[in-house]
Chain A
Amino acid sequence: MIIYLRSGGKLHDLLKPDVDQYTRRVETHEGATLVEILGELGIPLVMVAFAFVDGKVRKLDYVPTDGDVITIQSPVAGG
């Protein structure tokens, strides 16, 4: 199945976007958690504060479904 991971800031370079400036297309298997998917992409889990799917915050044990668009964000401080 295909999912789309999106990010910016510190995670931008680690994500290596290929669809547009912020988005990477990822082929993965059903039942895989975000932990597994991010691990396969070489993105350090400690640098991912949370995932954001359909307007909701998800933990990294989230199991994506086909076509999911998932934003991941690194920890930051306020402005």
Chain B
Amino acid sequence: MNGFGGTILRINLETGEIKRTPTPEKFAREWMGARGFVAKTIYDEVPRDADPLGPENILIMAPGVLTGTFAPAGSKIGFGCISPATNGHADSNMGGHLGAEMKYAGYDMVVFERISPEPAYLYIDDDTIEIRSAGDYWGMGSLDLEKRMKDDLGEDFQIATIGPAGENGVVYSCITHDFGRQAGRCGVGAVMGSKKLKAIAIRGTKSIPVHDLPALTKSTYDIIQRTKTHPLMEPWQKYGTALFVGWSNEHGCFPSRNFQTTYHEGWEGISGEKLAEEILVTHKACFGCWINCGKYSRARIPGKPDIYVEGPEYETIALCGGSCGMTNIHDVAYANYLCDNLGLDTMSGGNTVGFAMECYEKGIITKDDLEGHELRWGNIDDFENLVRMIADRRGIGEVLSYGTKGAAERLGRGTLAFAHQAKGMEFSGYDTRWYSAQLLSYCTSDIGAHHNRSWAITADIEIGQDTPEGKAEVVIYLQHIRPLFDTWCCCRLFWGEVDVTAEEHVDTIGYLTGWDVTFEECMQISEKIWNLTRSHYLERNGGPGRQFDVAPARQLEEKVPSGPAKGQRVGVENFEFMLDDYYHNRGWDKNGHPTREVLEILGLPHVADNLEKVGLLGEPFVDGVPKVRGKRLKPKAM
């Protein structure tokens, strides 16, 4: 089959059985890769009552149709499972070089089943596949282990690892690769750890068959020529995403001190400019990328060893930095390194430490809970002590290992009001009190709060920051187009920043596969996946669905106390209006349940049957579902 590796692997970690089956072209065409493969497979195979960290959950690793090809930054690979953070569909992806290597070895998806009796790692060298002992590796840090395995196996193996947090089941553990690229979200590292799978090593030397190589070559050449002189290349290459720390503060959406306010005093010390001036060592790119947004940095802190880390990028600066009260870029880079090596997502990890710092400030967590340490805003020693306790699940670290929602449920005392999460996964680095479409994006996201499902900050500005009207449709549109890139598996930056259109990516898919595919078809696939993951969430968690699409009280009710957004809040009435509008425009009923009509339009009649059996199918629309769902306002790029 053109455009793909051609084989699906199933690995039973309990018995050691390895099965190879050809990748069905119908499956590839209908689900396109990573996010789609994950959604379809876990819906079909994982029992609805399976414990996310138990043997019945599966862990999937899958690149997409564009991975490893000439497509700009076709670098991505997705990991998926049932999330221990949300108890729903999880997919999380990373750049780097692992995805391309896996396709060059000939594989489109690996499904890990059951639990290994001993710590193990997967070894793939083209057709040689082995489950090897990881006894010597268990307990090592993610970054330390990647270096060790490169030494043991050879530089040309691409390695993915988990850290101690993943081994210990912290629900926001990540999978790390390429010394700083993470499948960070949804707790995929905890599921990998629950299977006693410490690492994955892949070397592939084959190629991917292409339908029309001359057309693909010409198209790619034209894109390279056009984009290499694009004016926005240079700032991206020089600063990466960290450059937006300043704008975010000046426009009142930067989280400061656990989202207590949205302008962080001292942000200049953790800005992109400061990163470039003080800690930048070199630039770093993923497979097939000529933007090089990755920044490799060195942090120097008196009394601590110098460390090297990829980052910090915007989200890490916002959540390990601003939300934890830091004002020194060396401290943020060090925090980034700690999370990476321990195997914690810097986004949920930073967010959870910020939450704990506010609990400490309020006297809800004390020194007695912290093994005698303090937990002061902006203090890197305190940050280090706590993240080590979390990774080991010691003391209060056990409570915080469940994330902000799980911790708030255990701590009580009103802490849920300032737990910045949706469905159990923490907010990205944007406060939403002046950006209501972003709040709607977080709260309706199928995997929990994540900006890569829908980043609506500029849409809020374009539509109007003071109105809830018109927000739902743009959020729906963004929830289809942004995750489409996680389905195809290429980076969004070429689309968002240097004017490579989504339609050009679709053309690339056509040249690769020979499929007569259109942008509209791809968007409908994305909508199909969204409805499938929503239905799956309901089947696992019950109804009404509306009870899960809830916002933190601070975002709804507390006015921003300072900075450019001073006095802003979303308000319950506005949020409920947007939610009604959102459900209606998706073709769901007022409880947030997909209706049979929309599921059948999307080719999911069996899902409607399943929802009906458990009493969760949406009530029919009197006038029929909207013909166009989420397209009235088609924003350019992001």
The residues of A with any CB-CB pair to B shorter than 8 Å are 6-10, 12-13, 21-23, 44, 46-47, 49-50, 52, 55, 57, 71, 73-79
The answer to whether residues A6 and B231 also contact, given A13-B636, A49-B247, A78-B314 and a CB cut-off of 8 A, is yes
Name the one of A9, A50, A71, A75 contacting B457, with C-beta atoms under 8 angstroms.
A75
The residues of B with any CB-CB pair to A shorter than 8 Å are 73, 95, 226, 230-232, 234-235, 238-239, 241, 243-244, 246-248, 251, 272-273, 293, 313-315, 428, 451-452, 455, 457-458, 461-462, 485, 491-494, 496-499, 636-638
Cα distance, A13 to B241, chains bound together (Å): 23
The answer to whether B244 and A49 have CB atoms under 8 Å apart is yes
Chain B nearest CB: distance from A76 CB in Å?
5
The answer to whether B315 and A71 have CB atoms under 8 Å apart is no
The answer to whether residues A22 and B636 also contact, given A12-B499, A47-B461, A75-B248 and a CB cut-off of 8 A, is no
Residues of B with C-beta under 8 A to A57:
235, 239, 243, 246, 272-273
**Between-chain CB contacts (< 8 Å), 13 pairs:** A10-B637, A12-B499, A22-B231, A47-B462, A49-B244, A52-B234, A71-B235, A76-B244, A77-B496, A77-B638, A78-B451, A78-B493, A79-B73
Cα distance, A55 to B277, chains bound together (Å): 13
Cα distance, A68 to B457, chains bound together (Å): 30
Residues of A with C-beta under 8 A to B452:
77-78
The answer to whether A75 and B247 have CB atoms under 8 Å apart is yes
The answer to whether A9 and B235 have CB atoms under 8 Å apart is no
The answer to whether residues A10 and B492 also contact, given A73-B235, A78-B241, A79-B73 and a CB cut-off of 8 A, is no
Name the one of A49, A50, A79 contacting B496, with C-beta atoms under 8 angstroms.
A79
Chain A nearest CB: distance from B475 CB in Å?
14
Output the nearest chain A residue to B239 by Cβ-Cβ distance.
A57
Residues of A with C-beta under 8 A to B231:
6-8, 22-23, 71
Output the nearest chain A residue to B289 by Cβ-Cβ distance.
A79
The answer to whether residues A9 and B636 also contact, given A52-B234, A75-B247 and a CB cut-off of 8 A, is yes
Residues of B with C-beta under 8 A to A10:
458, 636-638
Residues of A with C-beta under 8 A to B458:
10, 47, 74-76
The answer to whether A52 and B235 have CB atoms under 8 Å apart is yes
Chain B nearest CB: distance from A44 CB in Å?
8
Task: Give 4 nearest A-B pairs by CB, closest first.
Answer: A79-B493, A6-B231, A49-B247, A77-B455
